[in-house]
Amino acid sequence: MVKSRREATSTPQDDWAALSPFERAAQFRELPHGKAEDFFRELSPADQADLLAHLPLAERRIWARTLPLDDAADCIQASPGSLREELLGYLDEPARREVVALLAYAEDEAGGLMDPGYARLRPEMRIDEAIAYLRRQAAERVGMLYYAYVLDAQRRLIGVISVRELLAAPAGKTVAEVMRTDVVRVSEHADQEDVARLLARHDLVAIPVVDAEDRVMGIVAVDDILDVVREEATEDIQRLGGTQPLADPYLRTSLPLMIARRGSWLGALFIGEMLTASAMGRYEDDIARSVVLALFVPLIISSGGNSGSQATTLVIRAMALGEVRPRHWWKVLSRETLCGLALGLVLGGVGLARILAWQGVFGSYGDQAPQLAAIVAMSLVGIVLWGTVSGAMLPFALRSAGMDPASASAPLVATVVDVTGIVIYFTVARAVLGGVAG
């Protein structure tokens, strides 16, 4: 059960997404064995599970045993309940025990991502002894070999040395003399996003996962984290776009599931947007008196929605990257207030110019053109400022309520801002037109 990483292969998986599970199984069974093995290992756990479910029993057993332990655990996790016990049954006893231990971790924590096969050294070893010891480990149980971790007699992590450093070190020195002692490590229950941040920040190729006693349980390698980073970004993007994240690639998500995922959010937003009709209803008489007021409602509320969606997007991404933390809320608030004010003044100015120009050229807005221009310009400043500030603060509010800040999708912000935008616009209108309409 040695884990060997993908060194090569160039099987194109391009069209795989478009095939039915049965076509996939049939194509897979036609591959020559060497290709098939690489191909199988490179599939995502969900694809592996799906493929296994559509293979004959005898082949299923062979392929289940091919996977390294951490990948086997992921594949079993991705399998339907009925297949899980069967797949576990194909493993030999020690492998099954390790896989069952891995299955106990949540999928998105360090323990659920780690590979238990890592290289270890003792601090008192001489470099040439250490290399010889590493050669034995490489042949037996080590998966990714980039660092060797130095453990004390209680298996606690005391140092690290990269294979390059080990190979480059003079044969007569000891491991303790050349190892680094300030090792970045993560707890077995660390969230995968934190693991990704640590790997990226420290340019690490792998990070050791330790238990409460600082004993190394396994390592998380950067290539596994690369998938995590792509998946997390995909989820954030889908949430920002106002969809519940899809677990599968776009073309592989069934149409009913797609409609359910999108419909749930779209329906919720729609119910929220209904408040715009109620809000507009409160100003029905104002519209009846000055129909021209209604013409600018879409422009006004969409400007608030767009500025809110900018602000929320920037803040959510900065939070996901760890650039902005909850304690920065005050800094963000003051920046966004200035930014929103500046943007509002620009749009308000353009809006003012537009109305006065149309009035000058076409006489579009009758006697009330100056008042209308003032109403549009002033409410644009207010609404863009409000949209920007509320868009920027919503992720902080969600986070402090214990929710994922990325749920503050652009459409959600737009909905909030639309309703309040209508109130702002007509309040300004009443104030300006008060004398005229009364």
Restricted to residues 412-431, the positions that interact with its own copies (CB under 8 A) are: 414-415, 418, 422
Q: How far is the CB of 419 from its own copies (least distance, A)?
A: 8
Nearest residue (CB) to its own copies, 26 versus 184: 184
CB 60 within 8 A of CB 89: no
Sequence-ordered list of residues with C-beta below 8 angstroms from that of 388, at least 6 positions apart, any chain: 307, 308, 310, 311, 336, 337, 339, 340, 343, 344
User: Strands 186-187 and 157-162, how do they pair?
Assistant: unpaired
Please report, as residue ranges, which positions from 277 to 336 form the binding site for its own copies (by CB under 8 A). Answer: 277, 280-281, 284, 287-288, 291-292, 294-299, 301-303, 305-307, 309-310, 312-318, 321, 323-325, 328, 331-332, 335
If one asks whether residue 7 binds its own copies (CB under 8 A), the answer comes out as yes
The phi-psi region of residue 126 (left if phi > 0; otherwise alpha if psi is between -120 and 50; otherwise beta) is beta
For residue 9, the one-letter residue type is T
Which residues between 89 and 148 bind its own copies (CB under 8 A)? 131, 134-135, 138-139, 142-147
- Residue among 111, 112, 218, 411 that touches its own copies (CB under 8 A): 411
Residue 46 CA to residue 389 CA, distance in Å, equals 41
| Residue whose pair of structure tokens reads 């890592």 in the numeric block | 118
Amino acid at 258: M
We find the least distance from the C-beta atom of residue 211 to its own copies, in angstroms, to be 19
Amino acid at position 73, single letter: A
Closest to its own copies by CB, 152 or 227: 227
Q: Closest separation between CB of residue 257 and its own copies, Å? A: 11
**Residue 335: how many other CB atoms lie within 10 Å:** 14
- The tokens of 339 are what? 């930014």
Select 97 or 135, whichever has its Cβ closest to its own copies: 135
Structure tokens at 28: 């897979």
* Contact characters 39-78, its own copies, x per CB under 8 A: --xx------------------------------------
Residue 8: count other Cβ atoms within 10 Å of its Cβ: 5
Per-residue CA distances from 353 to 45, 65, 350 (Å): 58, 72, 5
Q: How far apart are alpha carbons 424 and 344 in whole angstroms?
A: 14
Interface with its own copies (CB under 8 A), residue from 67, 72, 113, 161: 161
- Applying the rule CB under 8 A, the residues between 192 and 251 that interact with its own copies are 196, 199-205, 221-227, 229-230, 233-234, 236-238, 240-243, 246, 249-251
Residue range at the interface with its own copies (CB under 8 A); choices 10-18, 19-27, 79-87, 209-217: 10-18
> Can you tell me the distance from the alpha carbon of 246 to that of 196, in angstroms, rounded to the nearest whole number?
21
Subset of residues 336 to 355 that bind its own copies, contact rule: CB under 8 A: 338-339, 342-343, 346-347, 350-351, 354
